[in-house]
Each structure stands twice: as C-alpha cells, then as structure tokens.
Amino acid sequence: MLHLSLTWQIMLGLVLLCFSYYLLYKFVVYLKDLFRPFKKNKKYWCRVRSVSDGDTLTCYRFNVRRSETKLRFAHVDAPESKQAYGKESQRLVKSMVQNKIVRVKITDIDRYGRCVGIVYRYRKNINEEIIKRGAAWVYEEYIHDKHHLTYMLQLQNKAKKQKKGLWKSSRPIRPSVYRKQQKS
C-alpha cells in the first residue's frame, strides 16, 4: 500500500474534486441539450403530428421531453384554409409529411413564437416542393439571399407556366392580400 504525505493527499483530493466538477458540468450540459426545445440555426429530427394549413405544421422532437412545436415553412406562403386552394394545399402537405419523420432546420422564430424552418424528407426540400407543385407563393420578403430568391421565383414561375395547383385559377389571391381583405 502506498503512503502519501498530507500535502500529496490534499493535492490528489483537489485534482479529483476538479475532475468530478468537470464531469458534473458536462453531464448538466448534456441534460440541458437533451431537454432543450427547438433553437434557431439548429437541425432536428422530428415526427409531424398534424398539418394546420399549407405552410404550418406541428411536430415533436425525438428527445426525452418530446418537445413539440408549431413550425412554419420558411420562404413559403400558402393559401389560408378558407381561401381558394387552401384545403388542397393543406392536403398536399399532409400527404407529403403527416405522421412521417422529417429533418427540420430552424431558420427563425416568428413574432407569434412559431419556429420557422426548412423541412426535409429523404433529402427532398419540402419547402421547394410545395412551390414546384403550385401549392404556395414564394414569400419574397423573407428571403435575404438573392441567389436563393431567384431560384425560388424560377420554381414558382415554372409552376405558373404549367398551371399547377393554385395557378390553375386565372387570378389567385396572395394570402397576405386575402388576410388584409378579411380584416376589413
């Protein structure tokens, strides 16, 4: 058996105390991350519980707490439920993601506290897919990258030319205009 002087015993005790404090700190950080709800600029795997309309869904994360959140599609503005093509847009999104596992990249938190993000299913960008299928407009005001804006508008123009989805109508009304009309 090794006999250490009192000084060495104190030093060894301090080293063990520091190491145990470090382990406790790492464990607390791990638990905070495990229980943390959705955060901006992070990617998460989640299951889609419900689809409210063509650009809003509810999903929950695969963590211990099963953090649930309302998620709005980034860069997309779909018709309101009571608006022309609103129900069709909602059905399309439901068929693509309802009760399915998706990957979500949170890009922002909106003024209503909803997460705003890009939804992926099997590497397919669902936000872009909604535009391609003519189920929504490009929300130009919220796209800050000019290249991405150009790309999204090209997708929208292609859907217009092919008269897909809401573009079958001769003059569809933007949801933002429709909401203003409903308020007055």
Whether 72 sits among the annotated catalytic residues: the reply is yes
- Whole-number Å distance between alpha carbons of 115 and 38: 8
122's torsion region: left (phi>0), alpha (psi -120 to 50) or beta? left
Of the residues 47, 91, 103, 114, only one is catalytic, namely 114
Whether 114 sits among the annotated catalytic residues: the reply is yes
Residue with tokens 């399309």: 92
**66-72: which pairs have CB atoms within 8 A and are 24 or more residues apart?**
67/35, 67/36, 67/37, 67/38, 69/37, 69/38, 69/114, 69/115, 70/113, 70/114, 70/115, 71/38, 71/104, 71/114, 71/115, 71/116, 71/117, 71/119, 72/110, 72/114, 72/115, 72/116, 72/117
Of the residues 61, 80, 128, 129, only one is catalytic, namely 80
Of the residues 72, 128, 129, 133, only one is catalytic, namely 72
What are the catalytic residues? 72, 80, 114
